[in-house]
Amino acid sequence: MTDAAQQPIGVFDSGIGGLSVLQALRAELPHERFVYLADSGHAPYGERGDAYVAARTHAISDYLCTQHHIKALVVACNTATAAAIHEARLRHPLLPLVGVEPALKPAVAATRTGHVGVIGTRGTLGSAKFARLLASLQGQARFTIQPCDGLAHAIERSTAHPPAGPQDATEIRALCARYTGAMGVFGTQAGAIDTLVLGCTHYVFAQDILRDLLGPDVTLIATGEPVARQTRRLLQAAGTLAPQCTGSAPADGSIRLLTTGALAPLQNAVSRWLQLPASCCATVAL
């Protein structure tokens, strides 16, 4: 075992959406340490320009490397992946780096009607990276693409106070209904959309609402589990997987959660979705 095996894995997102990826990482790699950074003070990324998102990505990756000595970095944000992951790899050539992208390939494998819906931020769905991914699957399925302006931000705002109030749920439901309604017919009948790709990490936290709106026959596909498996593969290849301790997984002290914004929303989110105590969270000026 190398010293690097003891170092944490860095994870960041524009806000709390990447907690859905962190959730999958902790399930796949229960013996690892993590440091998560929510850039909530500069969110939302999905409606920003590429240059702005790239600048934030580089500032955060530099910070996590220099201050937390991370052994790998997971960019748990579709928009940041699309805008900046290539430059981040050039900037940190020795750092195992995993990005996220809308899970179109798994959706093609899952669809039975041949019609896949994709929801995401305008920044992700309008990116050259997404265009290349979509082009690579030309002819394998029909894709209906829907930008969801405001949805990630509404999910983010729902963590401002515990628990999520009726007004929060109503706003999120109204946005989900508006955007899925604009996409066409969902279901298993011929020509209908039977598979929906959640192309933003925030949207995982609205999946119960989406299931209620679309019905039980529509498959929802997110990216957390494939990202977690890829992270494991890269750490194995680098020889830096943490040793598997006998007994239980590490205590809550093995995870640090930081935010550039207000502290309470992150505390509320990790309590609601990760069942972690508020003491895991802190603010950082970055």
CA angle 172, 175, 181 (to 5 degrees): 135
Catalytic residue selected from 77, 148, 176, 281: 77
| 143 SS3 class | strand
11 bridge partner residues: 36, 74
Residue 278: partners with Cβ closer than 8 Å, 6 or more residues away: 267, 270, 271
Whether 200 is a known active-site residue: answer yes
- In the chain the beta strands, taken as DSSP E runs, fall at 9-13, 34-38, 72-75, 97-99, 115-120, 142-147, 195-198, 219-221, 255-259, 281-283
Residue 65: partners with Cβ closer than 8 Å, 6 or more residues away: 10, 73, 92, 95
Cβ 200 vs Cβ 124: under 8 Å:
yes
Burial group, residue 70, by CB count within 10 angstroms (0-12, 13-18, 19+): buried
Whether 176 is a known active-site residue: answer no
Catalytic residue selected from 148, 176, 200, 280: 200
Burial group, residue 243, by CB count within 10 angstroms (0-12, 13-18, 19+): exposed
Cβ 155 vs Cβ 209: under 8 Å:
no
Of 97, 110, 137, 106, give the one whose Cα is nearest residue 230.
97
Cβ 19 vs Cβ 236: under 8 Å:
no
Residues tagged active-site: 77, 200
